Copies of this chain bind each other. A is one copy, B any other.
Amino acid sequence: MRPSGRRPDQLRPITLETVGINKHAEGACLARFGDTHVLCTASVEERVPPWLRNTGKGWVTAEYGMLPRSTNTRTDREAARGKQSGRTQEIQRLIGRSLRAVTDLEALGEVQVRVDCDVIQADGGTRTAAITGGFVALALAFRRVQARGLISTIPLIGQVAAISCGLVDGTPVLDLDYVEDSGAQADANFVMTDSGGIVEIQGTAETTPFAQAEFMALMELARAGITDLCAAQATALAATPG
């Protein structure tokens, strides 16, 4: 029995809220994976970074942050410390790569979308909630780009979502919360598309090296979880007007 009472293959309650989240952003999604709440906004700019100018290609990038008291014990504010931690940079690079993996940057044209993922409350799995909600915000922002007449079709080649899995007390479990994450022997984050393509895999042995069979068990759990997350994304997008 998991601390939360979930079955090993059970996701936490997932909500992807898009309406009334942010009145300024071109796309917004408040992703909740249980008590992990990540606010994702997508901001459109009609200019690209210097290295893409005059190439006809667009760009999607991401930034990640945690509110100081999103965590159990208050974390120092990165703006006050004067730099982003290695963990923050690692996560925001991962989010950016994941979103670009399903975007047709050529079709987007010289437009940049910045996806900000800010953790309002953390309980494990913030990067996976950020990717899953960030995709929804991005897709909504593309609708606006289309509405402005900059593109004729939405430049997405699929959906992308992410989930964590881990070995806890020898059992492979899906969607770790903070308590499980802290005690896991190994954990892995999987970023996959709705058609099952692998975008990113990051597996780490926390205490002892793990076996290939264990890794495969984690991947199977992830596949099922991502199917559910992609369904939730589709539902959220369908339910969002405009």
A-side residues, CB < 8 A to B, are 22-25, 28, 35, 39, 41, 43, 45, 63, 65, 67-74, 77-80, 82-90, 92-93, 97, 101-102, 114, 116, 118, 120-121, 123, 158, 186, 188, 192-193, 195-205, 208-212, 215, 219
CA distance A208 to B88 in the complex (A): 25
CB distance B212 to A219 under 8 Å?
yes
Q: Which residues of B contact A25 (CB under 8 A)?
A: 69
Q: Which residues of B contact A72 (CB under 8 A)?
A: 24
Q: What's the least CB distance linking A219 to chain B, in Å?
A: 7
Q: What's the least CB distance linking A117 to chain B, in Å?
A: 10
CB distance A69 to B24 under 8 Å?
yes
- Nearest-CB residue, chain B, relative to A193: B209
- Nearest-CB residue, chain B, relative to A30: B120
- Nearest-CB residue, chain B, relative to A160: B209
